[in-house]
Amino acid sequence: MKYQANSALRLRLEGWRARLLLMLLLGGFLTLVGRAVFLQGMHYDFLQHKGDERYSRVIESTAYRGVVRDRNGDPLAISLPAESIWASRDDADLSGGQIDALARLLRMERSEIARRLNDGRGNFVYLKRQVDPQVAQAVGKLHIAGLFAEKGFRRSYPKGEMMAHLLGFTDAEDRGQEGIELSYQSTLAGVAGARRVIKDRAGAVIEDVENIREPRPGRDVVLSVDSRIQHLAWRELRAAIARHKAKAGAVMVIDPRTGEVLALANYPDYDPNQREHLSGAQLRNRCVTDTYEPGSTLKPFTIAAALEAHKITPGTIIQTGAGVMSVGTAVIHDTHPAGAITVAQVIQKSSNVGAARIALSLPAETMWNTFTDVGFGQVPKIGFPGEAGGRVRPYHGWRPIEQATMAYGHGISVSLAQLARAYTVFIGDGSLKPLSLLRVDNPVPGRPVLSAQTASEVRDMLELVVKPEGTAPLAQVRGFRVAGKTGTAHKQDHGRYTNRYISSFVGFAPASNPRLLIAVMIDEPSVGGYYGGVVAAPVFSTLMGESLQLLGIAPDDPASESFTLPLVPASAAEET
């Protein structure tokens, strides 16, 4: 019975079934071995990467952005330590009181914090970028789960509004967005560092594994600008805008020997340290991005073209009659009838009729060549984003009235930077200087445009403009010989000229050996006149006088130190 019971319990399989089961077990075992070999050997990198994603991270460390300095080493844009507050949405759990405390520290609305935590994709979200380290430390003391601080830098601009349009600013990622910050982004930015760390599930770093790459700081940029002269330009421009209740304005100061831009000021301006509520009008660098009809400031180039073509001399008599000239169906006017005057007096008195008669004595191509040779119609390439090239129409399509009005600055558009640069041909014996926003240690050669004789003759004519009989006696500077030209141009609206004006003056001193060239443009003055000799020339006078004194330039006309300026000279008027 015992044997029978044991026999009944014994499991017996047929031979082929036993072999099949053994083969299946061996096959499964080999599959597991093969899979293990594949994963551990051939697919190791993939698995390691997936494993690292759970706890290992590569964190970039922000590189220190280079400092922007003026020509004397004064810092204009620097980077300060800052931190960004971010949250892990899955782990952040804020009570009502914590949200209120966080909102007060970050100066944010409670609803905005709640929106950022609850809306959007992904687990990572910034709550506030570039906060002071003290604020980040205070946030840390709240001990809010899922909230972290990331170290970095924020850009600071010690000169504020004064340098805003020149320097521009950076964004939250410390990338240049405007001005020098954008133009020299690759130089200033540097290269971010990288390190591998281990984080816990809440995102906190618990171990530094390795340093992959050291951060490489950006290089400094030394500008041509002198912050002392920049302050004077900014101050005088703001004062003129307020005095004449103007819409806008711009000023440039240039060293004509090197082409260095010593000052570049615009209004309206803004504080680059506070950019929450900026408008397009505030951001525009009107010196280089805005174009306008230059008015009578273009007359010296018309005269230069005729001198080069040997059509006139400074003493040639031009008949302006009663100050009225018909060209086809159009009529050109002078503000004051001058009768028979010399070419030099055409510049001094800013005669539109005289300039038009001289222009019509020239082939259109000759005028066009002179205008384009001095840079009109071309981007000046001073290294600033958004530079405008202005407009000079091809001479093939000029009608006589267009050539006549272009002689005194109508039908052509320029930027203030173009105009200032063009005037360097009268200073450097006929050579056009390239402008530079970076410091130039040695004088640079210009491109020959006019003969030295023509440049000298026009320079002498420009000195007459600031005499009592000229249009800009208010541009005089005590102790110095001054040369320059006024401009008053009607503004266009939908192709029609209006009773709104742009007043300008471009000049240089000391005239015997020019060290500074200043261009002033005031847009839509509405109080106290609108002529360039009344609105723009006084800005030039004060700015030039104080700048020359600041640089220690010796006077070249001591006899003029006791002159007295008229309050509103009747001659300081020209119509264009």
Annotated catalytic residues are 296
Task: Yes or no: say if 63 and 215 are a contact pair by the CB < 8 Å rule.
Answer: yes
497 Rama sector, left if φ>0, alpha if ψ -120 to 50, beta otherwise: beta
Closest to 76 (Cα-Cα) out of 1, 167, 150: 167
* E strand or H helix that includes residue 83: strand 75-88
Q: What distance in Å separates the CA atoms of residue 470 and residue 345, rounded to the nearest whole number? A: 8
Q: How far is CA 339 from the centre of its chain?
A: 46
Angle value at C-alpha 192, between 189 and 196, nearest 5 degrees:
170
Q: How many Cβ atoms sit within 10 Å of the Cβ of residue 574? A: 27
What is the torsional sign of CA 425, 428, 433, 439? negative
Token pair of 524 as six digits: 């839509």
Q: What distance in Å separates the CA atoms of residue 509 and residue 516, rounded to the nearest whole number? A: 6
Q: What distance in Å separates the CA atoms of residue 338 and residue 324, rounded to the nearest whole number? A: 10
Alpha carbon of 131 to those of 112, 159, 511: distances in Å?
17, 21, 52
Alpha carbon of 488 to those of 202, 531, 574: distances in Å?
67, 5, 7
DSSP secondary structure letters along 393-430: --GGG--HHHHHHHTTT-S-BB-HHHHHHHGGGGTTTT
Rounded to 10 deg, the angle between the 364-373 and 299-308 helix axes is 120
Peptide bond into 268 cis (omega under 30): yes
Peptide bond into 473 cis (omega under 30): no
Could you tell me which residues are beta bridge partners of residue 193?
A: 61
End-to-end CA distance of the chain: 135
Q: What distance in Å separates the CA atoms of residue 298 and residue 368, rounded to the nearest whole number? A: 12
